[in-house]
A and B are shown apart, each in its own frame.
Chain A
Amino acid sequence: MMLDSKVPSGPIADKWTKHKNTINVVGPANKRNIDIIVVGTGLAGGSASASLAEMGYNVKAFCYQDSPRRAHSIAAQGGINAAKNYQNDGDSIYRLFYDTVKGGDYRAREANVYRLAEVSVNIIDQCVAQGVPFARDYGGLLDNRSFGGVLVSRTFYARGQTGQQLLLGAYSAMNRQIAKGKIKMYNRHEMVELVKVDGKARGIISRNLVTGEIERHSAHAVVIASGGYGNVFFLSTNAMGSNVTASWKIHKNGAFFANPCYTQIHPTCVPRSGEHQSKLTLMSESLRNDGRIWVPKNQEDAELVRQKKLKPTDISEEDRDYYLERRYPAFGNLVPRDVASRAAKERCDAGFGVNSTGEAVYLDFSSAIERYGKEKALILGISNPSSQKIIELGEAVVSQKYGNLFQMYEQIVAENPYQTPMMIYPAVHYTMGGVWVDYNLMTTIPGCYCIGEANFSDHGANRLGASALMQGLADGYFVLPYTIGDYLSHDIRTGPISTDSKEFSKAEERVKETLDKMLNIKGEKTVDYFHKKLGKIMWEYAGMARNKEGLDYAIQEIKNIRKEFWTNVKIPGSQNEMNKELEKAGRVADFLELGELFAKDALERTESAGGHFREESQTPEGEALRNDTDFAFTSAWEYIGEPSDAILHKEHLEFNDIELKQRSYK
């Protein structure tokens, strides 16, 4: 099978408009007779469900949580990008496009990224109209801040809870349609299989997580919006329930899986505290606007800090190494996430880490507090303010900007970050890889679409901050609702899809067999035991730095863990009830397959690109070294059995509007 990205012809700035003008549309009277299933209710799934329902389609939406409002988009903190140029700092659609392609280390599809930048401006208009309370300045206009990897301020935000506010906006739009009966909402339901009829996606099998009932749901098209697979590492900033199951099921039914090894390790997370840890907590990257990252310059100081014999505040300015400012003077603390994460790892590996595990660096707000305090004193007309007054005023400003983040940090670590620098360390946060889709966001299965983090499309090998929310809402509000019409225009005479067909029966049987098999193993070890074991292998050998030897080992080891899982897992309870262990087991079983493909993908890509760092491919200064001659392509994997036997298909990436060059933030 040949991959066809279906990118429209013509100049990049005209592609999307031209495409919208020329694709087929479904008339209002026919939309009423067409059903669409949407799996997931985060920013992508929620916004898609609402938009499709508004257009007149009948939507069935599914989420595993007890309400669509709980999807993990809600945890996004920092902000959402849009090329509004409200700050008059030279921003434009082209610049956002350029920054995103460069930030992604030239491994994204140009046309998709341009479209993303183009529709970004509509998102802000839309959300304000929906009542999203973005931050404003004293003139009543919208405020912006800056994020990593860019030199303009284009990020809109709602304190440190931007994801929450945007998701509640999408949720409110959904509620309006649920009330009208245009969306049928299935809470506490998990998709466990895709159903194909005549090669087309025509429905899903779901499990009711309250009763355990296996249900059949049909539709004319299926949209997967189930988020990323960061939990393959066990410890990540994802929600506990975040999983790859929906994506993996469609992969096994013929959807190619693209760039699984592109993972984002986020630089500013609360460090691990011990073995009991169940998840990691992110501190928004927006903190890097005002926080300065450092470690002690002398190893002896670092050692004393680790033993709690020396306080960071007692280390003098000249004995601190602000290593990002030192290495990257142009971008400083605002280098992209992959660069910041690797730099932190480099310092900690070299023995400069600052908490008891040796895996943490400081994020210090003292100079920001002083700067803001002086500024505020000037505004208030206080002449010769005392240093205490400056700190007091400065802390108030910092609290306005990041209050909830500081509070969260204090709850977890039990230290006051106004008084002593925060400790941070990189953690798995986002997956740029995902299900391969064409320009229309359709997978390689006709009628099966994939949007948001679940697809691979816009971020290349590294995502810039505040771009995930942008992509989720762009896909759901402004792209998929149009492109899906082109496909569905051929379905206006199809009529309702029956769930009595042999395809549905067989899919249901497969699901029941797998569940029975799992429950009947009655082994010795809990599901978490296997998940943690997998996570350790992934972090160790497929985490921030990867090499051939480690990846070969990881593939073998993951096979072993999978084998052990299927012979020795212990799942209490039965199928026909609320059974949280059974839910987890299904998800971990899929992670145990995905992990292997992930390592395989990382092994095959012998270049470094963005979040994928191959130790064999680096510049003399230790920066990621791309190989554009051999690897300027997207890897799209076709499932044929064992995950690592998957067949590689290449989508070659052409860069006509941006010059391919070595990424530099110096």
Chain B
Amino acid sequence: MDLILKVWRQKDSKAKGKIETYQISGISEHSSFLEMMDVLNDKLIEDGKEPVAFDHDCREGICGMCSMYINGQAHGPSRGTTTCQLHMRSFDDGDTIYIEPWRSKSLPVIKDLVVDRSAFDRIQQAGGFISVNTSGNTQDANAIPIPKDDADKAFDAAACIGCAACVATCKNSSAMLFVAAKVSQYSYLPQGEVEAKDRVVNMVEQMDKEGFGNCTNTGACEVECPKGISLEYIARMNREYVKATLVKEK
């Protein structure tokens, strides 16, 4: 395949970026999108130019590190797929492909296609955990039966990989799908109930502090989420939030 690539280049967080055009040829349709980027970078290095910086690690769709906005879509054209699992067979010979970083005030660009997602970590630190020490002296794992449906729903929510495609694709730069996934996971489990109120309030507060926008139920996040996290979890988080704030017990 021969392709024309329009890639966002930005030296560092302070520099002004711009789109550069590169031509690339001889790409196998079986190669992944990132392997195509490897070929581009090899060529750039050989030509004495700076390779394109991009985040990636596991290349099997689970670490959540890769993050490219491809032809105006988070993780490119395929549904339920991270950039690393997108294959070139999704494109046609001769295509022009635009490659940009996630764009959100809360996810500033570090270099080229690399963005800073530490806001996500800080939201998790505000309450994305169950306060149990790792002593190993907890009760037996089977002491509390959990209905299979609840366990499955908790798992579906927990499948979030924290890639931030939801934010990138949202017109409001909202992180609510990400936050809702964690809140919902614990809300389905008896172990999470104890701190449910504080958790949702604190995580939402941190989310707002980071400057993420609000949800207006457009649903783009659900469509672009590589793990298919459902919009219903946002509704569930809203319910948890109302439960936590309507009645002040303290």
Which residues of A come within 8 Å of B, CB atoms?
A: 47, 50-51, 54, 65-72, 74-75, 84, 86, 119, 122-131, 133-142, 158-159, 161, 164-165, 168, 171-173, 175-176, 178-179, 185, 187, 210, 237, 239-241, 273-274, 276-279, 281-282, 407-408, 411-412, 414, 477-478, 481, 526, 528, 570, 572-573, 577-578, 580-581
Q: Contact check, A273 vs B45: say whether CB atoms are below 8 A apart.
A: no
Closest beta carbon of chain B to A663's beta carbon, Å = 31
Interface residues contributed by chain B, number (CB under 8 Å): 81
Q: Contact check, A240 vs B12: say whether CB atoms are below 8 A apart.
A: no
B133 within 8 A of A: yes
CA gap between A580 and B61 in the complex, in Å: 21
Q: Contact check, A131 vs B189: say whether CB atoms are below 8 A apart.
A: yes
CB contacts (< 8 Å) of A278 on chain B: these are 32, 34-35, 38, 59
CB contacts (< 8 Å) of A125 on chain B: these are 136, 138-141
Report the stretch among B123-131, B167-175, B234-242 that lies at the interface. Answer: B123-131
The residue that B132 contacts in the complex, of A84, A130, A241, A273, with Cβ under 8 A, is A130
Q: Contact check, A50 vs B148: say whether CB atoms are below 8 A apart.
A: no
The residue that A580 contacts in the complex, of B31, B53, B146, with Cβ under 8 A, is B53
Assuming A210-B110, A414-B89, is B141 touching A136 (CB within 8 A)? no
Q: Contact check, A572 vs B50: say whether CB atoms are below 8 A apart.
A: yes
CB contacts (< 8 Å) of B197 on chain A: these are none
Mind listing 6 A-B residue pairs with CB under 8 Å? A69-B121, A133-B189, A141-B142, A175-B129, A178-B121, A278-B38
Residues 147-167 of B at the A interface (beta carbon under 8 Å): 147-148, 151-152, 154-155, 158-159, 161-162
Closest beta carbon of chain B to A83's beta carbon, Å = 12
CA gap between A509 and B47 in the complex, in Å: 32
Q: Contact check, B136 vs A131: say whether CB atoms are below 8 A apart.
A: no
Q: Contact check, B51 vs A173: say whether CB atoms are below 8 A apart.
A: no
Q: Contact check, A65 vs B136: say whether CB atoms are below 8 A apart.
A: no
CA gap between A528 and B11 in the complex, in Å: 23
Q: Which residue of A lies closest to B43 (CB)?
A: A526
CA gap between A50 and B81 in the complex, in Å: 32
The residue that B134 contacts in the complex, of A138, A142, A171, A173, with Cβ under 8 A, is A173
Q: Contact check, A159 vs B155: say whether CB atoms are below 8 A apart.
A: yes
Q: Contact check, B158 vs A126: say whether CB atoms are below 8 A apart.
A: no
Q: Contact check, A477 vs B124: say whether CB atoms are below 8 A apart.
A: no
Which residues of B come within 8 Å of A, CB atoms?
A: 11-12, 27-28, 30-32, 34-35, 38-39, 42, 44-46, 48-51, 53, 55-65, 78, 80-81, 85, 87, 89, 110-111, 114, 116-118, 120-121, 124-126, 128-142, 145-148, 151-152, 154-155, 158-159, 161-162, 185-186, 188-189, 191-192
CA gap between A130 and B42 in the complex, in Å: 44
Q: Contact check, A274 vs B30: say whether CB atoms are below 8 A apart.
A: yes
The residue that A172 contacts in the complex, of B53, B89, B129, B188, with Cβ under 8 A, is B129
Q: Which residue of A lies closest to B44 (CB)?
A: A572
CB contacts (< 8 Å) of A135 on chain B: these are 151, 155
Q: What are the 9 A-B residue pairs with the smallest beta carbon separation, nearest first?
A: A140-B145, A122-B136, A172-B129, A133-B155, A129-B138, A133-B154, A128-B141, A276-B31, A179-B125
CB contacts (< 8 Å) of B51 on chain A: these are 572, 580-581
Closest beta carbon of chain A to B70's beta carbon, Å = 15
CA gap between A126 and B137 in the complex, in Å: 8
Q: Contact check, B126 vs A179: say whether CB atoms are below 8 A apart.
A: yes
Q: Which residue of A lies closest to B163 (CB)?
A: A70
Q: Which residue of A lies closest to B82 (CB)?
A: A411
Assuming A175-B121, A276-B31, is B141 touching A142 (CB within 8 A)? yes
Q: Contact check, A165 vs B158: say whether CB atoms are below 8 A apart.
A: yes
Q: Contact check, B148 vs A140: say whether CB atoms are below 8 A apart.
A: yes
Q: Contact check, B162 vs A573: say whether CB atoms are below 8 A apart.
A: no
Q: Contact check, A578 vs B114: say whether CB atoms are below 8 A apart.
A: yes
The residue that A408 contacts in the complex, of B42, B85, B137, with Cβ under 8 A, is B85
Q: Contact check, B42 vs A528: say whether CB atoms are below 8 A apart.
A: yes
Q: Which residue of A lies closest to B158 (CB)?
A: A133
Q: Contact check, B138 vs A126: say whether CB atoms are below 8 A apart.
A: yes
CB contacts (< 8 Å) of A86 on chain B: these are 142
Closest beta carbon of chain A to B182's beta carbon, Å = 8
The residue that A139 contacts in the complex, of B121, B128, B145, with Cβ under 8 A, is B145
CA gap between A51 and B131 in the complex, in Å: 12
Assuming A173-B129, A187-B118, is B136 touching A240 (CB within 8 A)? no
CA gap between A161 and B155 in the complex, in Å: 10
Residue of B39, B45, B110, B126 with most partner-chain A CB within 10 A: B45
Q: Contact check, A412 vs B87: say whether CB atoms are below 8 A apart.
A: yes
Residue of A124, A133, A140, A171 with most partner-chain B CB within 10 A: A133
CA gap between A168 and B158 in the complex, in Å: 9
CA gap between A300 and B137 in the complex, in Å: 60
CB contacts (< 8 Å) of A122 on chain B: these are 136-137
Assuming A70-B63, A129-B191, A131-B192, is B136 touching A477 (CB within 8 A)? yes
Q: Contact check, A129 vs B189: say whether CB atoms are below 8 A apart.
A: no
CA gap between A187 and B114 in the complex, in Å: 14
Q: Which residue of A lies closest to B26 (CB)?
A: A276
Q: Contact check, B141 vs A84: say whether CB atoms are below 8 A apart.
A: yes
Q: Contact check, B155 vs A158: say whether CB atoms are below 8 A apart.
A: yes
CB contacts (< 8 Å) of B129 on chain A: these are 130, 172-173, 175-176
CB contacts (< 8 Å) of B44 on chain A: these are 572
Q: Which residue of A lies closest to B11 (CB)?
A: A577
CB contacts (< 8 Å) of B62 on chain A: these are 74-75, 161, 164
CA gap between A185 and B118 in the complex, in Å: 11
Q: Contact check, B145 vs A141: say whether CB atoms are below 8 A apart.
A: yes
CB contacts (< 8 Å) of A65 on chain B: these are 57, 63, 65
CB contacts (< 8 Å) of B45 on chain A: these are 526, 570, 572, 581
CA gap between A75 and B58 in the complex, in Å: 7
Q: Contact check, B57 vs A72: say whether CB atoms are below 8 A apart.
A: yes
The residue that A66 contacts in the complex, of B38, B39, B65, with Cβ under 8 A, is B65
Q: Contact check, B31 vs A274: say whether CB atoms are below 8 A apart.
A: yes
Q: Contact check, A66 vs B55: say whether CB atoms are below 8 A apart.
A: yes
CB contacts (< 8 Å) of A127 on chain B: these are 141
CA gap between A72 and B199 in the complex, in Å: 27
CA gap between A573 and B134 in the complex, in Å: 44
CA gap between A411 and B60 in the complex, in Å: 10
CB contacts (< 8 Å) of A66 on chain B: these are 55, 65, 116-118
The residue that A279 contacts in the complex, of B42, B59, B162, with Cβ under 8 A, is B59
CA gap between A165 and B155 in the complex, in Å: 8
Assuming A67-B117, A408-B60, is B53 touching A578 (CB within 8 A)? yes
CB contacts (< 8 Å) of B50 on chain A: these are 572-573
Q: Which residue of B lies closest to A477 (CB)?
A: B134
Q: Which residue of B lies closest to A281 (CB)?
A: B60
Assuming A75-B60, A165-B155, A173-B134, is B162 touching A69 (CB within 8 A)? yes
CA gap between A298 and B12 in the complex, in Å: 60
CA gap between A127 and B138 in the complex, in Å: 10
CA gap between A128 and B144 in the complex, in Å: 10
Q: Contact check, A276 vs B121: say whether CB atoms are below 8 A apart.
A: no
CA gap between A578 and B154 in the complex, in Å: 38
CB contacts (< 8 Å) of B48 on chain A: these are 572
CA gap between A50 and B12 in the complex, in Å: 33
CA gap between A648 and B141 in the complex, in Å: 44
CA gap between A481 and B118 in the complex, in Å: 28
CB contacts (< 8 Å) of B11 on chain A: these are 577
Closest beta carbon of chain B to A60's beta carbon, Å = 16
Q: 16 new A-B pairs (CB below 8 Å) besides A67-B118, A67-B121?
A: A72-B57, A128-B141, A128-B191, A130-B129, A140-B146, A140-B148, A142-B141, A142-B142, A168-B158, A173-B129, A175-B124, A175-B125, A175-B129, A411-B85, A526-B46, A572-B49
The residue that B42 contacts in the complex, of A47, A133, A526, with Cβ under 8 A, is A526
Q: Which residue of B lies closest to A522 (CB)?
A: B48
CB contacts (< 8 Å) of A239 on chain B: these are 57-59, 63
Residue of B35, B46, B135, B146 with most partner-chain A CB within 10 A: B135
Q: Contact check, A171 vs B191: say whether CB atoms are below 8 A apart.
A: no
Q: Contact check, B85 vs A412: say whether CB atoms are below 8 A apart.
A: yes
Q: Which residue of B lies closest to A400 (CB)?
A: B152
Residue of B45, B62, B116 with most partner-chain A CB within 10 A: B62
Q: Contact check, B151 vs A478: say whether CB atoms are below 8 A apart.
A: no
Assuming A66-B118, A75-B58, is B146 touching A276 (CB within 8 A)? no
